[in-house]
Amino acid sequence: MTLIPSILSVPPSPGVTARCAEARAIVLSNMPVNGEYRLLTLDAPAEVLDCAPGQFFQLLCPVPEGEHPFLRRPMSIYGYDAHAEQLQFLYKIAGAGTRGLATLRAGDTLNVLGPLGQGFTMPDAWQNLMLVARGVGLATLAPLARMAQQQGRSLTAICSARSPELAMSVDLFRSYGAEVIVVHDEDGSSEVPALEALIEARIAAGSVDAFYTCGSRRLLTMLQRLGQKHGIPGEIAMEQQMACGLGMCQACVRPFREGNEVVHRRVCREGPVFPISEAIA
Amino acid sequence: MSTSDLSVKVGELTFANPIMPASGTFSEDLSDVFDLDVLGAHVLKTIMHGKRAGNPTPRVCDLQGGMLNAIGIPSKGIDDFRDRMLPYWSDYKAPLVVSISAHSMDEFARLAAEVSLPGVAAIEANISCPNIEADGNAFAMRPDTTAEVMRRLRAETDLPLWAKLTPNTGEPVAVALAAEAEGADAIVTANTALGMSIDVRTRQPRLGNVMGGMSGPAVKPIALRMTYQCAHACRVPVIGCGGIATLDDVLEFLIAGAAAVQVGTATFQSPTVMARLIAELSDWMQAQGVTSLGEIIGSVQIPGGEAA
Ligand SMILES: Cc1cc2nc3c(=O)[nH]c(=O)nc-3n(C[C@H](O)[C@H](O)[C@H](O)COP(=O)(O)OP(=O)(O)OC[C@H]3O[C@@H](n4cnc5c(N)ncnc54)[C@H](O)[C@@H]3O)c2cc1C
Ligand SMILES: Cc1cc2nc3c(=O)[nH]c(=O)nc-3n(C[C@H](O)[C@H](O)[C@H](O)COP(=O)(O)O)c2cc1C
Ligand code: FES
């Protein structure tokens, strides 16, 4: 439970424009990946495919037997291709909603709402990018690899997992020309001290202009420390329980630092991507 | 193809159709999904006088057939309403209904005066929120506190004043009559029903605030019952609200006596639902040869006479 501080001024959202639609998509495939995850590929109408890396959809999950997911479930866009009219999500089965998703078969329909929220940015000054993420968080960061390649940036992806074979998206990152470093719990390389030393060495070699991360508090705290020490900016994709996903209900707020103030921002609207320096772990 | 007349009257106000959003489930953000001018009216999230943060997270959880919320009222205050929201909403044709609340009678009355501005069509008094003066109870739990707060509000505004009731009271009709007697121009039935949910694995409440308001299809029979009771007892119009998601739900509330309806939680499941309900209602009227909703409103047939 996040305790919400009492100081508040939700910033207005100048220039925040989200184009989205509620649409019916058709399941092309829904395959297990790595045992723990599933890759859902949809045939989706063009109206929902003007996406940016870091944005998400709200999926109206099918109802699995004996369970009753009611609200939509937020899922990051794993892949999108407006030309082929395809949309992909990589998900981990967690509860009723994702168990419902796992029942989808080719030919089934799925009601999707999106694309939602603000995606990652890639300012020109950020030439050498470092992405650090763990578990399903790597799904959220996957579309960044293509964006980096398209914009001619160099990308190092540090993929953290319980064991080397569980590291997600490694092949995908490589296919977009990223250097991939797998760290894992079995040899302790995913521990913060080891990871921090690894990143410090990269920074010393002058090859980090910006960080991208998501989810984990541990990684966020570490990257905030490194970022502050070396003046390296970055972005984080964050999660919060949602109802509407559009900005209407205020369910999804998190506290952020803004100067000396703590303000609330809606993860679904102002986010899910925020500056690392303003996030509160 | 001739179009049917979906317009309804709520007191002195006429709405192009009976479908409007429920407070707290609607904002300008929905304009990303459809043109908000198709709606009968716009009802805004409750505002309070000062800036407030709202409740701890998690603020929502889902249930079988509905959800719980404990958003609280994270208000940006009256200045933000006057300077930013009112100009934004004034660009729409649909009438604007401003929902207000407060922890004390004095603050409530002051806010009613402050929001009585050009561009505001009506005030919805959210008297169904817990307040400090009454030891955490909502004003609308009892007829006497309802009467007192409505009297104070009535003295401060000439705008149409709606009273939004709570299903948590044991005496909804007495509360509705008290609101009417003190000058309410319409009754809204109803706000959320107080509920709770526990994660059995962690043994922790699933809401940061421990308890929260239940909404969605699961509460529809309760809201429908209150709508029927109040429409039967009051002279002023009643606006139905609670669990409305389908055309049949809309018709049920109208038949029970609602002059219009508010749609809340259904928009979270399907953000286009209100636009769809308006189109479906129009098609239904045409197919049934119904020329005016006056033929439907309050047309409930109680076998063997009236039960109330
Ligand atoms: C912007 C965003 C992007 C996400 N992207 C992905 C992704 O690409 N792949 C993936 O596997 N998961 C992702 N998640 C997490 C995913 O939304 C949850 O795992 C999922 O909602 C769990 O639902 P459930 O019914 O299976 O589990 P339950 O635990 O039964 O869910 C109960 C309730 O809690 C909510 N909830 C549970 N976990 C989370 C969470 N981490 N964040 C927000 N709400 C949660 C659910 O939506 C639901 O309302 C993302 C979350 C957010 C906010
Ligand atoms: C997330 C959420 C926030 C709400 N906020 C308010 C509010 O600020 N003021 C109010 O009068 N009602 C509020 N409500 C109650 C709704 O307006 C409505 O009365 C209730 O949800 C029942 O209708 P529904 O089942 O269609 O949602 C809120 C409901 C939800 C789900
Ligand atoms: S989920 Fe409703 S405002 Fe973010």
What domains sit in chain B, N to C, each tagged with a CATH number?
A: 8-295 (3.20.20.70)
What ipTM score was computed for the predicted complex, to two decimals? 0.94
Interchain CB distance below 8 Å, A70 and B62: yes
Closest CA of chain B from A105, distance in Å? 22
| Residue A6, pLDDT score | 32
Closest CA of chain A from B199, distance in Å? 12
Quick one: average pLDDT of A135-142?
Answer: 85
What contacts B187, CB < 8 A, 6 or more positions away? B162, B163, B165, B176, B179, B180, B230, B234, B236, B237, B238, B239
Assigned domain for A260 exists = no
CA–CA distance, B216 with B213 (Å, rounded to integer): 10
Mean pLDDT of chain A: 90
Interchain CB distance below 8 Å, A4 and B84: no
Let me know whether A103 and A140 are in one domain: no
Which of A116, A145, A173 terminates a domain? The answer is A116
| Residue A87, pLDDT score | 97
CB A54 less than 6 A from any atom of ligand 1: no
Question: Is some CB atom of chain B closer than 8 A to the CB atom of A48?
Answer: no
Let me know whether A42 and A143 are in one domain: no
> 0.90 exceeded by the pTM?
yes
Let me know whether A159 and A211 are in one domain: yes
CA–CA distance, A183 with A195 (Å, rounded to integer): 8
Beta-bridge partners for B238: B187, B258
Maximum distance among all Cα pairs of chain A, rounded to whole angstroms: 55
CATH of the domain at A112: 2.40.30.10
CA–CA distance, B206 with A1 (Å, rounded to integer): 9
Residue A65 CB neighbours (<10 A)? 7
Let me know whether A13 and A110 are in one domain: yes
CA nearest B272 in A: which residue? Answer: A22
Interchain CB distance below 8 Å, B51 and A8: yes
Question: Is some CB atom of chain B closer than 8 A to the CB atom of A244?
Answer: yes
| Residue B135, pLDDT score | 58
**pLDDT-based confidence at A170, cuts 50/70/90?**
confident
Residue A11 has pLDDT above 90, yes or no: no
User: Could you say which of B61, B129, B230, B234 is catalytic?
Assistant: B129
CA–CA distance, B138 with B248 (Å, rounded to integer): 31
Residue A144 has pLDDT above 60, yes or no: yes
Which tens digits make up the pLDDT trace of A27-68? Answer: 999 999 877 789 999 999 999 999 999 999 999 999 988 999
The CA distances from residue A39 to A31, A33, A82, A89, A206, in Å, are 5, 7, 18, 6, 36
Residue A227 has pLDDT above 70, yes or no: yes
| Residue A116, pLDDT score | 97
Q: Residue B282, SS3?
A: helix
CB B274 less than 6 A from any atom of ligand 2: no
Assigned domain for A277 exists = no
CB A97 less than 6 A from any atom of ligand 1: yes
Residue A209 has pLDDT above 70, yes or no: yes
Of B25, B64, B269, the CB nearest to A248: B25
Residues of A in contact with B208 (CB under 8 A): 1-4
- Tokens standing for residue A209: 């202009």
Distance between Cα A250 and ligand 3 center (Å): 5
Let me know whether A150 and A67 are in one domain: no
- Tokens standing for residue A168: 């997600």
Let me know whether A150 and A228 are in one domain: yes
Q: How many CB pairs under 8 A join A and B?
A: 122
Interchain CB distance below 8 Å, A251 and B25: no
Interface with chain B: mutation pick from A1, A249, A265, A270, highest number of B CBs within 10 Å: A249
Assigned domain for A110 exists = yes
Residue A16 has pLDDT above 50, yes or no: no
User: Ligand 2 pocket check: which of A244, A249, A268 to mutate, most ligand atoms within 8 Å of Cβ?
Assistant: A249
Let me know whether A21 and A100 are in one domain: yes
Stated as kind and residue range, the H or E segment containing B232 is: helix B220-233
Count of structural domains, chain A: 2
CA–CA distance, A117 with A254 (Å, rounded to integer): 14
- Strand B198-199 to A56-60 pairing: unpaired
Q: How far is CA B115 from the centre of its chain?
A: 18
**What burial letters (b/e) apply to A220-229, b meaning 16+ CB within 10 Å?**
bebbbebbee
CB B46 less than 6 A from any atom of ligand 2: yes
| A252 assigned binding-site residue | yes
CB B240 less than 6 A from any atom of ligand 2: no
Radius of gyration of chain B (CA): 18
CA–CA distance, A212 with A155 (Å, rounded to integer): 10
Assigned domain for A192 exists = yes
Question: Is some CB atom of chain B closer than 8 A to the CB atom of A63?
Answer: no
Q: Do A67 and A134 touch, CB atoms closer than 8 A?
A: no
Let me know whether A60 and A162 are in one domain: no
Question: Is some CB atom of chain A closer than 8 A to the CB atom of B55?
Answer: yes
Assigned domain for A30 exists = yes
| A214 assigned binding-site residue | no
Distance between Cα B137 and ligand 2 center (Å): 17
CA–CA distance, A142 with B81 (Å, rounded to integer): 40
Task: Return the DSSP state at B81.
Answer: I
Q: Do B100 and B112 touch, CB atoms closer than 8 A?
A: yes
Ligand 2 atom nearest residue B59's Cα: 1
Which of A94, A116, A138 terminates a domain? The answer is A116
Let me know whether A90 and A168 are in one domain: no
Assigned domain for A86 exists = yes
* Domain carrying residue A179: 128-236
| Residue B129, pLDDT score | 78
Let me know whether A60 and A144 are in one domain: no
CATH of the domain at A145: 3.40.50.80
- Strand A273-275 to A234-237 pairing: antiparallel
**pLDDT-based confidence at A8, cuts 50/70/90?**
very low
pLDDT tens, N- to C-terminus, chain B (308 residues)? 456 899 999 999 999 999 999 999 999 999 999 999 999 999 999 999 888 888 999 999 999 999 999 998 888 889 999 999 999 999 999 999 999 999 899 999 999 999 999 999 999 999 997 655 565 579 999 999 999 999 999 999 999 999 999 999 999 999 999 999 999 999 999 999 999 999 999 999 999 999 999 999 999 999 999 999 999 999 999 999 999 999 999 999 999 999 999 999 999 999 999 999 999 999 999 999 999 999 999 999 999 876 55
Closest CA of chain B from A202, distance in Å? 37
What contacts A94, CB < 8 A, 6 or more positions away? none
CA–CA distance, B125 with B143 (Å, rounded to integer): 15
CA–CA distance, B140 with B168 (Å, rounded to integer): 9
Closest CA of chain A from B155, distance in Å? 31
Is the sign of the CA dihedral A133, A136, A139, A140 positive or negative? negative
Return the ligand number nearest the Cα of B74: 2
Q: How far is CA A28 from the centre of its chain?
A: 23
Let me know whether A218 and A184 are in one domain: yes
Distance between Cα B258 and ligand 2 center (Å): 18
Nearest protein Cα to ligand 2, atom 21: B215
Assigned domain for A231 exists = yes
Assigned domain for A261 exists = no
Let me know whether A65 and A28 are in one domain: yes
DSSP string over chain A = -PPPPS---PPP-TT-----EEEEEEEEEEEEETTTEEEEEEE--GGG----TT-EEEEE----TT----S-EEEE--EEETTTTEEEEEEE--SHHHHHHHT--TT-EEEEEEEESB-----TT--EEEEEEETTHHHHHHHHHHHHHHTT-EEEEEEEESSGGG-TTHHHHHHTT-EEEEEETTTTTTSHHHHHHHHHHHHHTT--SEEEEES-HHHHHHHHHHHHHHT--EEEE-----SSSSSSS-TTEEEEEETTEEEEEETTTT-BEEEGGGB--
